[in-house]
Amino acid sequence: MHLLRNNSDLHEPYTMLRTYVERDMDTLPEKFWENLKALKAAAVSEKNQTFAKTIWCLETAGKVQDYFITAFTLCRQDNFYGGWCYFERCEIQLASLDRHFREEDSEFGLNFIREHYPRFQFLFPYRLFISPGFIVKEARCSICDEVIKLRGGCGHIKGEIYDGELCVWKITGADFLEVSLVENPVQKYSVVFPQDGSYNYALIKYVVDGLRSPWHAWDYDRIMIETDEPLYPGVGQNEQCPCGSGNEFRLCCINKRKFREHYQVFFSVPPPKELPNYVPTADYRIPNKRYLPNRNK
C-alpha cells in the first residue's frame, strides 16, 4: 500500500513494525496500539475508509508479530499448549490479512512467520482434535448486527474491512449435533489430551532451546530409520502373520524390522553450546498447563 509507506501519521507505527528483529522477543509497546487506535477513530469520524483499512492492516500485522513472539516465549517456558494456541492465532490472522495486504521484502517479518509457524506446529505431538458439529439457526453481521439471510442481506461482505474492522458472521443461534475426533480440524485449539495430560514435547523443546531468537531461520529433515527390533515380537514361526496376509509368519514378515522417526534440525545461527548434537532417546514430558488465549487483543 502506497499510503502505508508514505503517510507521515503512520511513520512511527510503520517503523515499529519494521524493527521486529531488533525487538527480538519483546512484543510491541502499548504506545503502538494507542497510536493506531486514535488514528483509526479519526479516520472513521472523517469517513475515510481507505485510511481506516490501512490502519487495520497495521494492527493485524502487529498482532501476527506479537502472537509469533508470544508462542515462542510460551514454548520456552514449557507452556507448550499455550504456544500452540498462539501459533494457531498467527495462522488465523495471516489468513485474514492476506486478502488485503502483502508485504514487500518481508518488511514486517510476515513471510518469515508464514514459513516458520507450520514448522513449529508440525513438531508438536498433537494429532487428534475435537470438532463439534452444529446446525446454525441464526448468524449476524459483526458490522451492523443484522441477521444474515439467504436472499438479500445487509450489504456488508464477509471478510471485507469497514470502519477499520473485519466483517465476520457471529453465530447467535445454533443446535448442537455431535462431537467428532478429527486429525485435521478447522481450528486447532481443541486438542485431545491423555488422561494424565502429558505428551512428549522433545522435538519442539529441542528447537526452541536451540534458537537464540524467534527470528532466526531454521528447518528440518524427517526420515524413517530401520531399527534392530522385530516388527512383530513374540510371534511363533508357524503362526499366522499379524499383518493379515494369511501366510505363516516364517513365510511373511519374520525378517521385517520396526522403523523410527529421525529428525535432523538445521539452524541458521549456531545454537548454544550446551545443546546436544544428538539425542538418541528424546523424551520430554510435562503435565498439560491449561491455557486459554486472550482473545481481546
Residues 114, 52, single domain; the answer is: yes
Q: Residue 277's pLDDT is what?
A: 85
Q: For residue 189, is it within any domain?
A: no
Q: Residue 288's pLDDT is what?
A: 64
Q: For residue 192, is it within any domain?
A: no
Q: How far is C-alpha 129 from the chain's CA centre?
A: 15
CA distance 138 to 125: 36
Residues 150, 210, single domain; the answer is: no
Residues 30, 106, single domain; the answer is: yes
Residues 85, 103, single domain; the answer is: yes
Q: What pTM value is reported for the model?
A: 0.86
CA distance 70 to 89: 11
Residues 212, 137, single domain; the answer is: no
CA distance 241 to 139: 55
Q: For residue 193, is it within any domain?
A: no
Cβ proximity of 17 and 61 under 8 Å = yes
Residues 14, 67, single domain; the answer is: yes
* Sequence letter at residue 102: R
Residue 175 domain boundaries: 129-182
- Average pLDDT for runs of 10 along the chain of length 297: 73 94 96 96 95 96 97 94 95 94 88 96 93 90 90 86 96 91 88 82 94 96 88 93 93 91 91 85 71 50
| Cβ-based neighbours of 215, under 8 Å, separated by 6 or more | 20, 21, 24, 109, 112
266 SS3 class = strand
Q: Residue 295's pLDDT is what?
A: 46
Question: CA distances (Å), 86 to each of 67, 103, 113, 121, in order?
Answer: 5, 21, 12, 10
Residues 86, 115, single domain; the answer is: yes
Total structural domains in the chain? 3
